[in-house]
Amino acid sequence: MSTQQPTPPARKGSLKDTVKAVLWGFLGVRRQADYQKDIARLNPLHIMAVGVVLAFLFVLLLMGIVNWVAGG
């Protein structure tokens, strides 16, 4: 009798879907049904990686705007 661990279902989310979910998360606006679909479909590690990259890009954008406005 062999005891095999059940394999988790494969997550089939694309990069576009992940970026879209992270951007909606940044805004804080998301329907509950869409949130549940994202949780079931997207890989949590991909969500964290995209979130860090987008946050970094947002900070760079703000720094660029401040330098442009300050004339520096």
| Residue 46 domain boundaries | 15-70
45 in any annotated domain: yes
Residue given tokens 């720094």 in the structure block: 63
Neighbours of 68 (CB within 10 A): 9
pLDDT higher than threshold 70 for residue 72: no
50 in any annotated domain: yes
10 in any annotated domain: no
1 in any annotated domain: no
In total, how many domains does the chain have? 1
19 in any annotated domain: yes
CA distances from 11 to 34, 44, 49, 53 (A): 15, 10, 16, 21
CA distances from 43 to 10, 35, 37 (A): 9, 13, 12
pLDDT in tens, 6-50: 666 666 778 999 999 999 999 988 888 988 998 899 999 999 999
What's the predicted TM-score (pTM) here?
0.74
